[in-house]
A and B are shown apart, each in its own frame.
Chain A
Amino acid sequence: MTDLFDLMAEKSGLKEDAKYGASGDMKKTQYVLELIGSPADPDTLKCIITSAEQGMEMNCYSTVTDAVSNLDECISELSPLSITPCLKEADFYTCGADAITAFTDARGLGYALTPRNAALAAMQNYWVDIAVTNVAPHVKLITDEVFVKRYSDSSYTADMQVVNAADEDLKIFFDALDQQLEGNKYIVCDKYTWADLHWSAYAHLCEVAGCNSLIDERKNVKDWLNRIKTRKAQCGQDEVAFDMMPSAEETKQGKLRSVVINNY
């Protein structure tokens, strides 16, 4: 079986970086992770943020700009149940954001993101649940219109009725988030948790898709996102995890940024 990661590394120009450590010149103990995903996919963004938060370098290959000719077939070989994004670390492969983020969190350099206190951890996952179950479907409608359909047809124009309806449906959830953030630095307490990581991926996609009023019109949400955009990574290195997010223009072009840690 041809390794899809190798093919996409070559296509992305990161082939040599993917061999990092092979000659024993590693600047740290772990291998560089490799990820296959899409900039319009919140699950891909969650994997990238986790990697940056935990100080794990990650070469990211986009299914849009780094696609190989038989991509769907190759992904089926890699992930028989077609769960994406996909991750490779040395001889280990796994797929799906839940698996990848858990793996990266456990392998990384920083503290685990889940609070030790049972009530706070439960609150964290209550908010993760709202994001994944209730917010994600509406964000998907927006990103499909604004980005995904354009990836396969560059002349496609977003159906603004769909976008505006999804934007409207998202308001109650962002209102609830705004209420929750009243007096809180982060969503469940004064520490950054998985809840912030999940919500920031959706908030970022809303912003780059032009639905930024969902954030800008809610003071607590806006302040929280600004805090996320400038906070240093969990791992203690001098990196801002959110800087690894693809910009609006990169998302439109289907490009992903790799996670590079400079200050070991």
Chain B
Amino acid sequence: MGLFSKSKPKVSDTPKLKCMPGDVASYKCLFLASYRKIPVEIEWGETSILDDKMSESLNMSNLNRYPCIEDGDFTVCGEHAVMTYLNIKGRTPTIHPRKARVLAMQQYWIQVLKTKFTSQVNEGDQGAAALDALDKVLTNQKYIVGEFSLADIHWAAEFKVLEDSGKASVFSNYKNVTDWLTRIKTEIPDFDVKSEKVAA
């Protein structure tokens, strides 16, 4: 037998992204994979805490972190970890502003979403202060921090879930925001995906 003739057992080398319908974090990861053209197999379903093997093995039960990504024998769960993984994997450029000030603005707008919009919309408030500020920065800019960044992916996923759940009225009166979202929808290839596979 030749040196290189022994073939390895064939396993799927496409990472598996386990998403939950209606979950904003799942859409953020999916959009990132789609934008960066990372091939992933999407599995939609009610995720079980058993998917979060790492938390379980560390006896941190019921953390309910999702989505999860499985790539070979590597598994990790939670938006922050999965997005980091998807932003480094692959050959396309990572989404990471080179200028420190732009990077800071990206992180600022992600924090605004998490602490001043998502939580307030969930509590019945419409997050108007955050939307006012977002609409204002989008007056003269194509993207939230000037260039396409993770901030656009985070906010786009949030608006996608609001739209899908019939709550688009929360942001539909903000012209710059809606113009921006229309543009983003054309730039993220699988914005409306609900299929098995994206971005091959």
Stretch among B4-12, B75-83, B165-173, B186-194 lining the A interface: B75-83
* B128-151 interface with A by 8 A CB criterion: 129-130, 133
B129 touches A81 (CB 8 A): yes
Q: Is A32 an interface residue (CB 8 A)?
A: no
CA distance A100 to B100 in the complex (A): 10
Determine, out of B16-24, B41-49, B55-63, B156-164, the stretch whose residues face the partner at the interface.
B55-63
Contact A126 B54 (CB under 8 A): yes
B116: chain A residues within 8 A (beta carbon)? 81, 83
B111 touches A83 (CB 8 A): yes
**Would A126 and B77 count as touching, CB distance under 8 A?**
yes
Distance in angstroms between the alpha carbons of A123 and B78 in the assembled complex: 10
Alpha-carbon distance between A102 and B98 when the two chains are bound, in angstroms: 11
Q: Which of B90-120 contact A (CB under 8 A)?
A: 99-101, 103-108, 110-112, 115-116
A50-67, CB under 8 A of B: which get 1 and which 0? 000000000000000000
Interface size class of A (residues with CB under 8 A): 35 or more
Check: A94 CB closer than 8 A to any chain B CB: yes
A126 B78 Cβ-Cβ under 8 A:
yes
Known pairs A106-B100, A107-B100, A129-B78; A83 contacts B112 (CB<8 A): yes
Contact of A83 among B78, B105, B108 (CB under 8 A): B108
Task: Give the docked Cα–Cα distance between A173 and B129 (Å).
Answer: 35
CB distance from B145 to the nearest CB of A (A): 11
Is B84 among interface residues, defined by CB-CB distance under 8 A?
A: yes
Contact A119 B59 (CB under 8 A): no
For B82, B83, B84, the residue with the greatest tally of chain A CB atoms inside 10 Å of its CB is B84
Q: CB-CB < 8 A to A97: which residues of B?
A: 111
Given contact pairs A118-B85, A125-B84, A81 touches B105 in the complex (Cβ within 8 A): no
Query: Cβ of A114: which chain B residues have Cβ within 8 Å of it?
Result: 84
**B81, B103, B115 — most chain A CB neighbours (10 Å):** B81
Q: How far is the CA of A103 from the CA of B105 in the complex (A)?
A: 9
Q: Are B78 and A118 in contact (CB under 8 A)?
A: no
Given contacts A80-B133, A81-B129, contact A126 B80 (CB under 8 A): yes
A126 lies within 8 A of B81 (CB): yes
The docked-state distance in angstroms from the alpha carbon of A102 to that of B145 is: 15
| A124: chain B residues within 8 A (beta carbon) | 84
* B100, closest chain A residue (CB): A106
Which of A118, A129, A134, A175 is in CB contact (< 8 Å) with B59? A175
Cα distance, A106 to B103, chains bound together (Å): 8
Given contacts A81-B112, A83-B116, contact A118 B80 (CB under 8 A): no
**Beta-carbon nearest neighbor of A119 in chain B:** B74
Determine whether the beta carbon of B133 is less than 8 Å from that of A99. no
**A103-B104, A130-B60 given; A125·B111 CB < 8 A:** no
In the complex, the answer to whether B81 meets A123 with C-beta atoms within 8 Å is yes
Q: CB-CB < 8 A to A103: which residues of B?
A: 100-101, 103-104, 107
Closest residue of chain B to A132, judged by CB?
B80
The winner among A123, A125, A175 for most chain B CB atoms within 10 A is A125
Interface string of A130-155 (1 = CB under 8 A from B): 10001000000000000000000000
Query: What are 7 A-to-B residue pairs whose CB atoms are below 8 Å?
Result: A80-B129, A83-B116, A92-B101, A119-B74, A126-B76, A129-B78, A134-B60
Spell out A's residues near B (CB within 8 Å).
80-81, 83, 92, 94-103, 106-107, 114, 116-119, 121-126, 128-130, 134, 172-173, 175-176, 179-180
Since A94-B104, A134-B63, A179-B59 are in contact, a sample of 6 more A-B pairs with Cβ atoms closer than 8 Å, ordered by chain A residue number, is A83-B111, A94-B101, A99-B105, A101-B107, A121-B84, A130-B60
